[in-house]
Structure 1
Amino acid sequence: MATEATAENTTYEEFLGKVKRISNVQNAAGILGWDQEVVMPEGGTPARSQQRSALSAISHELLTDDEMGELLDELESEDLDDEQAAVVREVRREYERATRVPGELVEEISRTTSEALPKWKKAREEDDFSIFAPTLEKLVELEREYADHIDPDKDPYEVLFEEYEPYLGIDTAEETLAELRDELVPLIEDVRESDVELATPFEGTYDAETQEELSRDVLDTLGYDWDRGRLDTAPHPFSSGTQFDARVTTRFDESDPLGALMSTVHEFGHATYTQGLPDDQYGTPLGQARDLTVHESQSRVWENNVGRSRAFWENFLPLVQERFADANGVPVDEMYQAANRVYEDNLIRVEADELTYHMHIVVRFEIEKALIRGEIEVDEVPELWNDKYEEYLGVRPDTDADGCLQDIHWSHGSFGYFPTYSLGSVLAAQLYAKADEDIDDLDGQIRAGEFDDFHDWLTENIHEYGCLYTTDDLIEHATGESFTAEYFLDYVTEKYGALYDLE
């Protein structure tokens, strides 16, 4: 028996060594991606596209080699503990998808997305969709081909969605988004018909340097680990990295200091999840975040349930007043209102309020589904985008920069990603409700600027497990319930009903 146990352990250790090598290659590619979006000179694209393409090819080759398949087959018949079985489950899923896709296609997708980024930037800056359209058309074709290799008998959009959320299912995404659309559109209409006017205390110009200082203030307040992170600016805010190096970016609009502040809080949520992953599992699925629904829940719970709460503003307002003189004398209620005002004419998803935000998601979700399924052509996107904004949000973009070019994700080849934004927001409310039940006077702790108990609750119920559980099992473990939109809809109905004096 001892000999068999040793052989089993050797097989798993050999397997784990290969998994960690793949992870390190992917993490290196992630740093190159961060560099390209944040500090790389504009002329660096030709070399960067080749570098990232090479790393994608190496990662693909390591994952799909025959020895990896043999090790997975051997381990399927072994008596593994729960952690080992979870690692094998996650790698098996990636292996089976990757072995169906030719390495040449993986390289071409990586190269095309690297080249797409500067074209998207230029198209957005010049408000000219035609600059990006040919690249978008190529990306759509490549993603269709990718999906067809993985499962030619399945809806290609569903295949791509499973890249980002493999366990909740496309049916859950479609049903949840339909429920949000059906429930939120009437609520948004009631808000807009209300006679209540929420406060708008910021009406001046606020320089980027002072806004950055305020962003650093809020990261300090919430407990960001600067030894394992940094703050930079990017055209589209994002967070990336590992538990040892989880970076955040934001962007500044001199007329809207609250926009950058809430963006920073949002990205903090992503980064604190990453920083909370177990150090000793780095390089394995147990040291990696559980897909994008859960990741987004962590950013949205900090941005909305914490950062837009009245309790938070009771604590944080003095720091705002230190940075911006015209905030002096502004009462907490007005700052709370300003952080939660529902906009009449918001066109930009990352600047949207909690209610209209989900209509932004629905628009892109419906359009990218149609693109991947071949139901529309790329050149139809701008007009269709504007039509849907008018239908769901009551506002029509005047420019493509504020319309279909506003988000970076299609330049990354990220089709199927967007539903996870709304799924994550819904999950955030469910998690916060459970944390509020478990933590003594959570609202009072936030009011006092004490976030340790909430950090600990999230770490103990979400972060420390990495990918040990599937998404649905993790939600059940953390909350005692299956995934549901009930908590989110109750939360926004109560909150905005009170703010706008709705019956």
Structure 2
Amino acid sequence: MATQATDEAPEAYENLLEHYEQISSVNDANGILSWDQEVMMPEGGTPARSKQKSALSSLSHDLLTEEQVGEWLDELEDADLTDEQAAVVREIRRDYERAAEVPNDLVAEISEKTSEALPKWKQAREEDDFSVFAPILEELVELKREYAAHIDDEADPYAVLFADYEPYLDLETAERVLSRLREELVPLIEDIRESDVELADPFDGEFDVDTQEELARDTLDTLGYDWEHGRVDTAPHPFSSGTQFDARVTTRFKEDDPVDALMSTIHEFGHARYTLGLPREQYGSPLGESRDLTVHESQSRLWENHVGRSEVFWEKFLPAMKERFSQVEDATPREGFEAANEVYDDNLIRVEADELTYHMHIVVRFEIERALIEGDLDVEDVPEAWNDKYEEYLGVRPDTDAEGCLQDIHWSHGSFGYFPTYSLGSVLAAQIYDALEEDVGDVEAKVRKGNFDVIADWLEEHIHQHGARYTTPELVEEATGEAYNADHFLDHVTEKYTELYDL
């Protein structure tokens, strides 16, 4: 379906692109199987599903590492290509060179093991027993170490894994950003804890889950979700997946906290809106794929934090909540705004965290998984290490594994190196939002009127339509006019929380 090939394109390029479309289709089919396993599949389906996913992962790897792919890439090394064609070749070359170093049987084994790990993680979380998950986690750690060593046995193995999720911002950049966030956010969090201000929380009581699901659909309607190309379901850990033709979201509901599901839904909408904004005519090509996880996370965090947690959003959306729940009929938009931004002393769960403490959750998992991959921490010691770091960075200590090291699904996916992109994306969201506002004017005034299209359209024009044409630094520069930096984020949270807590 990709259309950037032309009569003037070298034959090797057209062959390469046609071949890559097959790889893309196999990967997307594998993604649907993953979605189904987390959302719809009966519990007993794991043995067959692990084999199915392993077969598709193996097929994708075989297609990518075929000898002719290398030959086509060699032919195109010095070819006269357009900028878009050169970007396509750059992205495929990078995937090929990394994949060619990894044995096919290892790819298949990792895929099969992650399918087996998912139900183990669910069981461990439900039973609050890390030991249920620990054996298969240990296997995954070993497999990912082996994977990293095949790609570059002289490099930091965690840096190799990190590059799977963010290939163009190096690990040193991630460490620098995380260090700055730790240094500047911890004092701000401490000031908030010492503040005498108590923020309002009008969402007290029980809120029917089915009605919350109706509210989630209201939320997606309000934001402009394309139901013809998407759907919403529930999952133990919310996520979004799909293509520009089919981008699905999931959320989850807590009877005593409707704001949690609301923010989760908005967050996943941001991911889905990015996916749906990718150019359809480029499906099957890198130009029709997202620009890795830092940029993807910037889209979800922009919608969640800069839109969903804003006071003007609550002015617009609170009436829908009042229609659904009589318990909040006396709530004011300011109270909704405060409830969505409160910094809790007992903040144990990352996906429920405010904009500030959220990043300390990222730092904890980043430090632990890096120690695991580098062999400095044994799997059996993860719960204690986790709890110690939470006490150090967040001033709280989890009472259970479910609230602690089992709260996130990512390790069951074998996704070591993923977590820094959450903070990198949050930082980028603030930089993009400031560029958006400079370009279109007062964004809050538009949100107050329910004009969310101006945000979506700007993001599609400046981010989504480019697919993976640019590297991450190039795309940031193209969209915002400056290099990637943390200044906008730190200015945003300092101003916001200083006002909220009268600091």
Q: What is the TM-score with the length of structure 2 in the denominator?
A: 0.98
1:6 deviation in Å? 5.8
**Correspondence 1:177-192 to 2 at 5 A:** 177-192=178-193
Residue pairs, 1:177-256, within 5 angstroms:
177-256=178-257
Q: CA deviation at 1:122?
A: 0.2
Which residue identity is paired with 1:150?
I
Name 1:76's counterpart in structure 2.
Answer: 77
Residue pair 1:358, 1:422 contacting (<8 A) in 2 also? yes
Q: Is the contact between residue 86 and residue 469 of structure 1 (CA under 8 Å) also seen in structure 2?
A: yes
The one-character-per-residue Cα deviations of 1:29-68 (angstroms, maximum 9, x if unpaired) are 0000000000100000000000000000000000000011
Task: Tell me the CA shift for residue 286 of structure 1.
Answer: 0.3
Q: CA deviation at 1:332?
A: 1.2
Determine the C-alpha separation between the residues in 2 that align with 1:357 and 1:221: 26
Shift of 1:250: 0.3
Question: 1:323-472 to 2 correspondence within 5 Å?
Answer: 323-472=324-473
Deviations 1:454-477 (A, max 9, x none): 111101110000000000000000
Which residue in 1 is equivalent to 2:110? 109
1:470-485 alignment runs, 5 A limit: 470-485=471-486
CA–CA distance in structure 2, aligned partners of residues 441 and 365 of structure 1: 36
Worse-matched range after superposition: 238-247 or 72-81 = 72-81
1:331 CA drift (Å): 1.2
Gaps of 5+ in 1: none
Q: Aligned AA for 2:209?
A: A
1:198 maps to amino acid: L
Hey, what's the Cα distance between the residues in 2 that align with 1:454 and 1:463?
12
Look up the match of 2:264: 263
* Residues 326-356 of structure 1 deviation map (CA, whole Å, 9 limit, x = unaligned): 1112111111101111111011101111111
Secondary structure class of the residue paired with 1:76:
coil
Residue by residue over 1:462-494, the C-alpha shift from the partner in whole angstroms, topping out at 9 and shown as x without a partner, is 000000000000000000111110000000000
In 2, are the aligned partners of 1:8 and 1:78 still within 8 Å (CA)?
no
Q: Counterpart in 1 of 2:3?
A: none
Distance 1:74 1:342, change over 3 A: same
Residues 165, 291 of structure 1: 8 Å contact kept: yes
Q: Report the count of equivalent residues.
A: 498
The letter for the 2-side match of 1:343 is Y
Report the secondary structure of 2:41's partner residue.
Answer: coil
User: Counterparts of 1:394 and 1:329 in 2: how far apart (Å)?
Assistant: 34
Alpha-carbon distance in 1 for matches of 2:7, 2:245: 32
For 1:225-245, what per-residue CA distance to the aligned partner results, in whole angstroms no more than 9, with x for missing partners? 000000000000000000000
2:411 and 2:442 map into 1 onto residues whose CA distance is 42
SS at the partner of 2:233?
strand
Give me the whole-angstrom Cα distance separating, in 2, the residues matched to 1:254 and 1:283.
41
Provide the C-alpha distance between the structure 2 equivalents of 1:237 and 1:283, rounded to a whole number of angstroms.
Answer: 26
Paired letter, 2:227: W
Distance 2:316 2:351 in 1: 24
Q: Any idea what SS the aligned residue of 2:242 has?
A: strand
- 2-side partners of 1:428 and 1:105: how far apart? 36
More divergent stretch after superposition (325-334 vs 212-221): 325-334
Write the deviation string for residues 123-182 of structure 1: whole angstroms up to 9, x where unpaired: 000001111000000000000000000000000000000000000110110000000001
SS of 2:400's equivalent in the other structure is coil
State the match for 2:26 in structure 1: 25
CA displacement at 1:7 relative to structure 2: 8.0
1:198 touches 1:337 (CA, 8 Å); kept in 2?
A: yes
Paired with 1:98 and 1:143, the residues of 2 have a C-alpha distance of: 14
Kept in 2: contact 1:427–1:484 (CA 8 A): yes
1:290 is matched with: 291
- Where does residue 12 of structure 2 map in the other structure? 11
Runs of 4+ with >6 A deviation: none
2: CA distance between counterparts of 1:6 and 1:290? Answer: 27
Partners of 1:359 and 1:393 within 8 A in 2? yes
Residue by residue, what CA displacement relative to the aligned partner does 1:377-399 show, whole Å, maximum 9, x if unpaired?
00110000000000000000000
Native 8 Å contact 1:64 1:95 kept in 2 = yes
CA positional deviation for 1:8:
4.6
**Mapped partners of 2:394, 2:481: distance in 1:** 35
- Does 69-78 or 231-240 show the bigger shift? 69-78
Q: 1:176-226 deviations in whole A, cap 9, x for unaligned?
A: 000000101110010011000000111100111000011000100001000
Give yes or no for the alignment of 1:67 onto 2:68. yes
**Equivalent residue letter for 1:154:** A
- Matching residue of 1:34: 35
Q: 1:500: which partner in 2?
A: 501
Stretches of structure 2 that go unaligned for 5 or more consecutive residues are: 1-5
Give the drift of 1:9.
Answer: 3.4
TM-score, scaled relative to structure 1: 0.98
Inter-partner Cα distance in structure 2 for 1:192 and 1:366 = 25
CA shift for structure 1 position 100? 0.2
Write the distance in 2 (CA, Å) between the matches of 1:442 and 1:386.
40
> Equivalents in 2 of 1:46, 1:39: separation in Å?
15
Q: Whole-Å Cα distance in 1 between the matches of residues 248 and 286 of structure 2?
A: 20
1:76: how far off?
1.5
Letter in 1 for 2:150: H
Cα distance in 2 between the residues matched to 1:12 and 1:489: 44
**Residue identity opposite 1:29 in structure 2:** N
Give per-residue Cα distances to partners, 1:306-330, cap 9 Å, x unaligned.
1000111111111111111111121
1:14 deviates by 1.1
Distance 1:342 1:492 in 2: 12
C-alpha spacing 1:215/1:28, structure 2 compared with 1 (3 Å):
same
Name the SS of the counterpart of 2:249 in structure 1.
strand
Letter of the 2:147 counterpart: Y
SS in 2 for 1:260: helix
Q: Which amino acid aligns with 1:183?
A: E
- Specify the SS of the correspondent of 2:237: coil
Q: Quote how far apart the aligned CAs of 1:11 are.
A: 2.1
Of 8-17 and 177-186, the range deviating more from structure 2: 8-17
- Deviation at 1:77? 2.1
1:487 and 1:322 mapped to 2: Cα distance? 36
CA-atom RMSD in angstroms: 0.9
